[in-house]
Amino acid sequence: MPTAPRICPLCEATCGLVLTLDGSRVTGARGDRDDVFSRGFVCPKGAAFPQIDGDPDRLRTPLVRENGRLREANWDEAFDTIAARLRPLIEGYGPDALGIVLGNPNVHTMAGALYPPLLLRATGTSRLFTASTLDQMPKHVAVGLLFGDPFAIPVPDLDRTDHLLVIGANPLDSNGSLCTAPDFPGRLAALRRRGGTLTVVDPRRTRTARLADRHLAPRPGTDALLLAALVHTLFAEDLADPGPLADRTEGVDQVRDAVREFTPEAVAPACELDPGAIRAVARELAAAPTAAVYGRMGSSTVAHGTLANWLVDVLNVLTGNLDRPGGVLFPRSATAPAPRPAGPGRGFLLGRRHSRVSGHPEVKGEFPLAALAEEIDTPGTDAPGEGRVRALITIAANPVLSAPDGRRLDAALDTLDLMVCVDPYLNETTRHADVLLPPPPPSQSAHFDFALNGFAVRDQARYTPAAVPLEPGRMDECEIHARLVLAASGMHGAPPSAVDDLAIDAALAKAVTQPHSPAYGADPKEFAAGLTGESGAERRLDLMLRLGPYRLTLDELKARPHGIDLGPLKPRLDEVLKTPSGRIELLPAPLAADLPRLRAALTAVPEPGALQLVGRRHLRSNNSWLHNTPALNGGSNRCTLQVHPDDAARLRLADGAPARVRGAGGELTADVEVTDAVRAGVVSLPHGWGHDRPGTRLTVAAARPGVNVNQLLDGSLLDPLSGTAVLNGFPVEVAPLD
């Protein structure tokens, strides 16, 4: 049987797979032992690649709404419809009448990296909503303020660290996030084998927590308090020692003052932790030869998410672990622009605009996804430029399930003048589309990890071309995006390569003027003529590689189908810092201004018996869209409400019996699973379920729909600095169904 390599697009680990092919059908998938990064690792999702790829419910042709119903259409009809209906809306009501929603899989496709920025520029809209405000936006804000660049996210040096402190992440089930590491479980086992220490902070005893030397289970939403107490302890016990970072850091003394009252004793009642255990963690962290503090979803999608993410890196700085091997380091991606010389930058600004309805500040050019519904359904003046979202483009997003209050959003989507979706499925969100543009399955798409290489625990570059040719009638997702840019920008009918040519010209026009660029002083036309690649996307990849820090080329990558290893992470803080001071700004003003809210949390202890809900991920899931794969959605019901035995007894909840869960945004019914894997006072329900709406084409998922946990939220609970929805630790009431 012929085989072809394909990087797995199903999670952030980016494992190399070897696909077995029968003609143009994928019949098998195994880990690629020769992959320079993943070395043969594969998980159940990667192994299910053939079923995911060959799902008969994947759409094959565009769908266009006619007289209220979606019908199959050809590509020209689909783009003609978009061009004819979108331009008048933008011209009549202004660019902000168009909203754009980008979902998670955009970090797993080449198209998602290359074209959405062009779509935003070409349409001129400022109404961007992405999954980041359901996820890692607090991290972007924290590092943006600390280091001057919201993408300067340091990652734990997993393979060399002596001590890993994991706060609100469960990489044994998620396979890691903002820390791209194929075989995360194996890497944690290796840490233990070499005598290292693993500490996990999580209100659930997760599979990751079970591996740990020490597991702290705080009350949800209190990580910022715990972290502040760890920082306090470092100062109080004279353990703070930034080492060589000292003269590159501003504000150390100010941080000492800022955390003065957050003693272990002061935070203990709110965190429901033993002050002695907090001190022990601080001491161990300081004593470890090298250590890395790593926080993710559980410490981000909470009311103090930005403060928690800030404090994570404050700890890394104060223990001297930032930018050193074994600590946390900044990956050097092969397609990031070659670094400019060290020196001050412009820094990171927040709140340059505010949202129309609730006045949420813009963050990284985005508004909170939790506020999308109100931006559509709250009436405006109808005057040009008023900014009400009337048309929406969603790309790889399912906010009806992934964002708070799907019911309101569901209704709001129905009122749009135009909705265009780029998505392989007719699902809870895309069923509202007027035009639905389906990308081909991953086997028919080339792959390069533009985004995730920037968070990888080892520098490397891998490119896999499409494993099988495009089926007749299919369109490559890059071409779909390019045509969408043309249709949305008044250039409908121009060849899609024009979009790539414009992007290449713009990038080169800038690069040739920059002394640190490999293209400095070159003739842009000549440089462009030297690019190789069979498509616009390939030529753009070639350009980015050539302008990158390793000066690679596409041909070099194509010649090495299992990838090019570029070595372990290296210290490079000077290349990264872009703050106005040119130094690490350890106590940025917007964070200092948020501290009174954290102080108030010291005494905001919930009533006895109050319950808080947290999420959980399962190894065989990926947010909302893998429940249609039989191999990943079999066996017992996974969409259960986990309840601690004490709470179950108190509330008379029986294992396996249905319970009613009520939150600010609504209520739902879920089967109870009594387990001491959650701490008392905490219940857990996974997200991405609730596949019971009519008008979808998800045969397997609809047969086992589960419930949508996000219906418990009304969209009003946010981390104010980042606009990120509180998805973990929000209050709920639970009662037996009868």
Ligand X SMILES: Nc1nc2c(c(=O)[nH]1)N[C@H]1C(S)=C(S)[C@@H](COP(=O)(O)OP(=O)(O)OC[C@H]3O[C@@H](n4cnc5c(=O)[nH]c(N)nc54)[C@H](O)[C@@H]3O)O[C@H]1N2
Q: What is the CA radius of gyration of the chain?
A: 25
User: Which residue number has the CB closest to ligand SF4?
Assistant: 46
Packing angle of the helix pair 275-287, 264-271 (nearest 10 deg): 120
Residue 46 binds what, of ligand SF4, ligand X, Mo ion, none (CB under 5 to 8 Å, by partner type)? ligand SF4
Could you say which residues in the range 182-201 bind ligand SF4, by CB under 6 A?
182
Residue 42 binds what, of ligand SF4, ligand X, Mo ion, none (CB under 5 to 8 Å, by partner type)? ligand SF4
Of 180 and 309, which has the nearer Cβ to ligand SF4?
Answer: 180
Q: How far is the CB of 116 from ligand SF4 (least distance, A)?
A: 22
Q: What is the rounded CA–CA span in Å between residue 628 and residue 294?
A: 32
Q: How far is the CB of 176 from ligand SF4 (least distance, A)?
A: 8
Of 31 and 116, which has the nearer Cβ to Mo ion?
Answer: 116
5, 18, 45, 481: which one contacts ligand SF4 (CB under 6 A)? 45
62 half-sphere exposure, CB direction, 13 A CA radius: 26
# of chain residues touching ligand SF4 (CB under 6 A): 12
Q: What is the rounded CA–CA span in Å between residue 177 and residue 168?
A: 11
Specify the DSSP class assigned to residue 633: S
Name the pairing type of β-strands 458-461 and 564-568: antiparallel
Q: How far is the CB of 139 from Mo ion (least distance, A)?
A: 11
Backbone angles phi, psi at 618, to 5 degrees: -115, 140
Q: What is the rounded CA–CA span in Å between residue 453 and residue 181?
A: 10
Q: How far is the CB of 4 from ligand SF4 (least distance, A)?
A: 16
Of 29 and 137, which has the nearer Cβ to Mo ion?
Answer: 137
Of 127 and 256, which has the nearer Cβ to ligand X?
Answer: 127
18, 43, 198, 674: which one contacts ligand SF4 (CB under 6 A)? 43
**42 touching ligand SF4, by CB under 6 A:** yes
Alpha-carbon separation of residue 210 from 179, 186, 271, 454, 636 (angstroms): 20, 14, 21, 29, 22
Q: What is the rounded CA–CA span in Å between residue 481 and residue 711?
A: 31
6, 18, 35, 46: which one contacts ligand SF4 (CB under 6 A)? 46
**18 touching ligand SF4, by CB under 6 A:** no
Q: What is the residue type of 516?
A: H
Name the pairing type of β-strands 418-422 and 447-448: unpaired
**14 touching ligand SF4, by CB under 6 A:** yes
466 half-sphere exposure, CB direction, 13 A CA radius: 20
Q: List residues binding ligand X (CB under 6 A).
A: 11-12, 103-105, 109, 131, 134-135, 167-171, 173-175, 177, 201-204, 206, 220-221, 223, 296-299, 302, 395-399, 402, 422-425, 427, 439, 477, 614-619, 621-625, 687-688, 709-710, 727-729
Dihedral of alpha carbons 121, 124, 130, 132, sign: positive
687-690 LR contacts (CB < 8 Å, sep 24+): 687/401, 687/402, 687/615, 687/623, 687/624, 687/727, 688/401, 688/402, 688/621, 688/622, 688/623, 688/624, 688/625, 688/627, 689/401, 689/624, 689/627, 689/639, 690/401, 690/406, 690/428
**174 touching ligand SF4, by CB under 6 A:** no
| Residue with token string 């708070």 | 404
Query: Which tokens go with 376?
Result: 């559509």
Of 533 and 615, which has the nearer Cβ to Mo ion?
Answer: 615
β-strand partners of 70: 65
Of 103 and 406, which has the nearer Cβ to ligand SF4?
Answer: 103
Q: How far is the CB of 418 from Mo ion (least distance, A)?
A: 28
Q: List residues binding Mo ion (CB under 5 A).
A: 135
Residue 10 binds what, of Mo ion, ligand SF4, ligand X, none (CB under 5 to 8 Å, by partner type)? ligand SF4
Residue 43 binds what, of ligand X, ligand SF4, Mo ion, none (CB under 5 to 8 Å, by partner type)? ligand SF4
Alpha-carbon separation of residue 162 from 169, 230, 328, 629 (angstroms): 19, 18, 12, 39
5, 6, 11, 389: which one contacts ligand SF4 (CB under 6 A)? 11
Q: What is the rounded CA–CA span in Å between residue 306 and residue 60?
A: 42
Residue 13 binds what, of ligand SF4, ligand X, Mo ion, none (CB under 5 to 8 Å, by partner type)? ligand SF4
15, 245, 266, 314: which one contacts ligand SF4 (CB under 6 A)? 15
Q: How far is the CB of 542 from ligand X (least distance, A)?
A: 22
125, 175, 535, 621: which one contacts ligand SF4 (CB under 6 A)? 175
Q: What is the rounded CA–CA span in Å between residue 215 and residue 572?
A: 32
3-state secondary structure string, 204-218? ECCHHHHHCCEEECC
Q: What is the residue type of 88?
A: P
Q: How far is the CB of 52 from ligand SF4 (least distance, A)?
A: 10
Of 648 and 685, which has the nearer Cβ to ligand X?
Answer: 685
Q: How far is the CB of 16 from ligand SF4 (least distance, A)?
A: 9
Q: Which of 7-15, 332-340, 341-349, 689-697 is the region at the interface with ligand SF4 (rule: CB under 6 A)?
A: 7-15
Residue 728 binds what, of ligand X, ligand SF4, Mo ion, none (CB under 5 to 8 Å, by partner type)? ligand X
Residue 204 binds what, of Mo ion, ligand X, ligand SF4, none (CB under 5 to 8 Å, by partner type)? ligand X
Query: Which tokens go with 98?
Result: 């168009």
Contact 158, 286 (CB under 8 A): no
Of 57 and 565, which has the nearer Cβ to ligand X?
Answer: 57
Q: How far is the CB of 27 from ligand SF4 (least distance, A)?
A: 17
Q: How far is the CB of 187 from ligand SF4 (least distance, A)?
A: 12
Q: How far is the CB of 179 from ligand SF4 (least distance, A)?
A: 12
Of 103 and 715, which has the nearer Cβ to Mo ion?
Answer: 103
SS3 content of the chain, % helix, strand, coil (to 5): 35, 20, 45
**255 touching ligand SF4, by CB under 6 A:** no
| Residue with token string 């010291």 | 602
Q: What is the rounded CA–CA span in Å between residue 721 and residue 137?
A: 9
Of 17 and 164, which has the nearer Cβ to ligand SF4?
Answer: 17
State in Å, rounded, how far the first CA of the chain is from the last one.
57
Residue 668 binds what, of ligand SF4, ligand X, Mo ion, none (CB under 5 to 8 Å, by partner type)? none
Q: How far is the CB of 110 from ligand SF4 (least distance, A)?
A: 16
Contact 617, 174 (CB under 8 A): yes
User: Which residue number has the CB closest to ligand X?
Assistant: 298
Q: What is the rounded CA–CA span in Å between residue 306 and residue 308?
A: 5
Of 277 and 619, which has the nearer Cβ to ligand SF4?
Answer: 619
Of 182 and 218, which has the nearer Cβ to ligand SF4?
Answer: 182
Q: What is the rounded CA–CA span in Å between residue 533 and residue 554?
A: 7
Of 138 and 563, which has the nearer Cβ to ligand X?
Answer: 138
Of 225 and 391, which has the nearer Cβ to ligand X?
Answer: 225
β-strand partners of 421: 394, 436
Those residues with Cβ within 8 angstroms of residue 374's Cβ, 6 or more apart along the chain or in another chain: 357, 358, 715
Q: How far is the CB of 177 from Mo ion (least distance, A)?
A: 6
Of 9 and 327, which has the nearer Cβ to ligand SF4?
Answer: 9
**8 touching ligand SF4, by CB under 6 A:** yes
Contact positions vs ligand SF4 (CB under 6 A): 8, 10-11, 13-15, 42-43, 45-46, 175, 182
